[in-house]
Structures are given as C-alpha cells and as structure tokens.
Amino acid sequence: MKNDLITDDTPIAMLIVGPQKELWTLFGCIMENPTSVQPSDKEVMNLEKLVRLMGCSKSTIYKLVHQGKIPFCKLDHGGRKLYFLRKDILDWFQSQRIPAIEQEDKKCARKLCRR
C-alpha cells in the first residue's frame, strides 16, 4: 500500500488482534492518567534528547557547554558523554527569558506610580 493512500479515514483493521489490544490498553491508560506520559523533572537526558527538546543543533549545545552557559553533567571517571537534567534545563530556559516590551512597560509604569 502506498503512503499517499493512507489518510485519517483509513481503517486500522489491518492490525492483528494482539497489537490492537495493546494499543487500546495504552490509550486507556493515557486517558485515565495523562500526566503519566509526561517526562519527569528528574529525567536525565543525553545530547540527542536535549537536541529534540531545544530544537537546536548538537554544535550549538556543545558551544553552550564549552562556554559554561548551560547546566550539564559529566561522569567523573573521564567519560566523554554529556548528560543534562531536565529540571535544570527548564530552569535555565526560564532564566534566559526576555520579557516582551509590553511587560517591561507595565513594570516601569508600576515603578513610576510608586514614586
């Protein structure tokens, strides 16, 4: 079957019963507890996962690590692999946030009103 013939309306009856049951069970678990599929803040990410999270290249991440601008972990025994804690990365993202002009204007207006 060609990919261009598969649409959102294509039936999934081609699945055998076992995998279809697994899909329905997984779907049921997700619907009952949607937070269970969310990544943990304590998740340890490798470089590839961080690339997907940030949407930038590996070289950009290596550059940020080299400059000491992004939090990372490296094993003590001379390992070359880099690891990143999801919570640290999300906190770092927040610290890099630049407020919109409107937010800055409101902040300045509040300061002027207090004087």
Q: How far apart are CA 67 and CA 23, in angstroms?
A: 45
Full pLDDT tens readout for the chain, 115 residues: 455 666 666 665 555 566 666 666 766 666 666 555 556 667 899 999 999 988 889 999 999 999 999 999 887 777 788 999 999 999 988 888 777 777 777 777 777 777 6
Q: If DSSP codes are grouped into helix, strand and coil, which group holds residue 45?
A: strand
Rg, the chain, Cα only: 23
Nearest-CA neighbor of 85 among 25, 26, 41? 41
Backbone angles phi, psi at 74, to 5 degrees: -140, 135
Please give the Cα distance from 36 to 31 (Å, whole number). Answer: 10
